[in-house]
Amino acid sequence: MARQIDTDLLIVGGGGAGAKAAIEAQARGLNVVMLVKGFLGRSGCSIFAGNLNWFGPPKDPNAPAQSEEERQRRTMDFLAKYTHYLGDQEYMKNAARFTFDHFYPWLEAQGLYVLRHDDGTIVVDLPLGTQAWGTKMGMSGQIIMDMMRKEIFRRGVTVLQETAATSLLTADGEVVGATALDYRNGEQVVVRAKATILATGHSNYLSLRSTGTREGTGAGWIMAFRIGCTLKNLEMQWFHASDLAWPRSWMRLHLYPNPAPGTAQRTHLHNRRESSSSTETSSPRIRCRTSCS
């Protein structure tokens, strides 16, 4: 016999998007249930964010002030060209505006310390000013997800961890919840909800030699497709040479040569022959130093 739960809002996914949705919905008085395949704030890809895409001006007293249009242009120059124009540019522009105007200020209001100079300006990489850091380099995602995990549990949101959604429930053409499997206890779960948010993230398996987290299976896409939803932007991926893996059985983390805070220096990755190579992206302003084997 399946366990049944009724709620106002069902959120499938426990990464950054799902966690933020849960906090906002609960703050508005909704009863929220989260289905998390792994552990809230401990699985998926959000925890591995090493830095923040900031696109603010570098700390240069002689640099001219940047307009909103210039900031958007620099964002698109970085994101659109880096993804070889496969990404939805309108989506990226809207996401960038949300990030700058709402998400980062919200994170700081929650207590996240974004690395700053003594005068209060954001520490960015030089000369482009495309990156910022939550407290310290390489730890932004972990710190953000720790903060949101604690906030969700403080608010008393119902979180079913180690519970994988298996299908969406529909009635009269509307989504009314989902079925799930609590694979730790071997229990089936049915969640009936007035609204459902799929925040299951991307897939790590679209490219033969790409690495990623085990939770990134594209399950949310499949559930949506099976009930007749139209899918878009599946090709929106971020490629860089240092996370390729072969043979297929390898599933390991990658090293990404992010710029060091407040400098023009990047990590150089060397192979066992102590040689390094440089791979060019399609943006003339960006160069990544990566290993070659």
pLDDT value for 95: 78
Q: What is the pLDDT of residues 90-149, one digit of tens each?
A: 887 787 778 878 888 898 898 888 888 888 888 887 776 777 888 767 678 888 999 999
pLDDT value for 122: 81
Distance between CA atoms of residues 257 and 129, nearest Å: 15
Q: Per the structure block, which two tokens stand in for 196?
A: 């459902």
Q: Is the pLDDT of residue 58 over 50?
A: yes
pLDDT value for 239: 58
Cα distances (Å, whole numbers) of residue 235 to 3, 222, 280:
37, 15, 20
What predicted TM-score, i.e. pTM, was given to this entire model? Answer: 0.81
Q: What is the pLDDT of residues 261-278, one digit of tens each?
A: 777 777 666 666 655 544
Give the start-to-end residue ranges of the domains of the chain. Answer: 1-51+140-231
Q: What is the pLDDT of residues 222-241, one digit of tens each?
A: 999 999 999 888 877 665 55
- Per mean pLDDT, which of 57-61, 111-115, 192-196, 242-246 is the most reliable? 192-196
The per-residue b/e assignment along 252-286, b for 16 or more CB within 10 angstroms, e otherwise, is eebebbbbebbeeeeeebeeeeeeeeeeebeeeee
Cis link prior to 284 (omega < 30° from 0)?
no
Class of domain 1-51+140-231 (CATH, top level): alpha beta
Q: What is the pLDDT of residues 192-208, one digit of tens each?
A: 999 999 999 888 766 66
Q: Per the structure block, which two tokens stand in for 281?
A: 């992206």
pLDDT value for 238: 62
CB 191 within 8 A of CB 168: no
The 8-class DSSP code of residue 14 comes to: -
pLDDT value for 195: 98
pLDDT value for 197: 98
Q: What is the pLDDT of residues 140-199, one digit of tens each?
A: 888 899 999 999 999 999 999 999 999 999 999 999 999 999 999 999 999 999 999 999
One-letter amino acid at 145 equals: M
pLDDT value for 240: 56
pLDDT value for 85: 80
pLDDT value for 161: 97
